[in-house]
Structure 1
């Protein structure tokens, strides 16, 4: 098994974390904001759990792509995990829903019952079949035709799954992560005819990578964030006070005396996530409260960002998504669970 594209935090989570770092304290606990972030974060954790189960499957001829977003007919479609082999492709749609989920294949309805709250969701089996239709159309531009299977995997081990109709097909489509190996083994045993050559596999893998267009949401616009909602100053990641200055080539917090080596990198990356995918030397100086263009040039050069233009017209470009830190911190992240009940 070869993982061609590893799963990293998607832009949506990176953007939320950047927003929490830059919002004034009173706005960080906005109900809609935190609910949306928690939902995306739960989905990402569920995907990582299934990734681990998949990584243990002993099949050396599987090529794995995590979190792929392709375009067909000017529309994008997202696949949580795509398995490529010489005999078939498999789309894996991952759901992390707690409590009890009831699926009705006749009504194409998924209902979650959790803590007395009832929530309806899009039919995940139909969602995966729609992705299959899009992927089939996408493959046609490369003159490729190969069997495509779909699996919907429930990643939460405590979830109770109830299927309203006695449909044997659904039991092979809507599964728990613990049985993923069994279903992949059944698909491998069923598809024995080689459809793609080694060259075709290589070309397909390259086409998927080059066609992948990660979704980058604009949270500032989505939540109508204004300048008054954002922190004016440089925040210390240790004490979260706006008391940081650059002194003797170091970022130093006047409040807690912490020294933060690469603080400018986090601030510039947050700018890319929240505001624009390019930045100039002047914009960086305004952002970091630095007067010297030469100092700013040195800091930007140290980040090894690609750029276009020369001299004062030079624009530095945002890095690709896999180059963003995966251990981003934000205020309130490390609160004790007991504080929830205070």
Structure 2
């Protein structure tokens, strides 16, 4: 079935994704948007300021986003910057939201192929929107003119069709170097669709309070986001001191978040909040017998006590003798995630 109003059987999410990718958006002009709605079999509703496309889908109607004051600097003749179609709903808890996203991902990916871009919007969504409370993962199938994104929403995941240039123009121009200018993380693979894709410049944390804040946001959402995206992140973090820049932490996250600590003998990790495998037995499957003695199992989606974790990491780094945030260094191995080259913009830490 094609999902039009009055259909007895709702169109599958995979079929909807195929139709969105193949749709003619007509340059995202008013006439083009109305033609798009007609092509998809959806009725026009709402108001000029907040137009709605009536889809008849159980998850809700689609919304067109007109160019407003936050979008106008990034467009080139477009009147709209996206149409967002909710495709699933879930309970308002991190585990349920991550599971709903994962379910949609596993349906859409075989239909469209491996996404060319993946990441997290962090707490700063496109055109300065805020993200969902549990995390803001996204997958993109990039096209020359239009891009389809599987985006986390407030109630559940949605498919968002958008003109490619304005979205990437917005992201690129956030690379101004100011603290918190870009949040989340962003990764592209070697798909030919990414030809011409640029990564904006990052920013540097200038205080330990900034590092605490960024680690809080990153670690709190990470297990929900990695679960939703179906990825696993392994992140070594080095601490530069007068003894060099040895490995200090290792962050491992798939469906659970585990952090290991490699503190020198003259530091007491237990007093800073670290445990051993005896206190955190689930970490044995991550690090085995040869991993760090000191570690913590922070839990799955929605479970990490991220502020306390961030404070523990910062306190440990400073106890070891890391004097400045610029001396806390993310190892380059963390940039390679399941075939994507990932930049961790939201941390504000150097990579080396």
Question: Between Structure 1 and Structure 2, whose CA radius of gyration is higher?
Answer: 1
Q: TM-score, normalised by structure 2?
A: 0.28
Using the size of structure 1 for normalisation, the TM-score is 0.29
Between structures 1 and 2, the one with greater helix share:
1
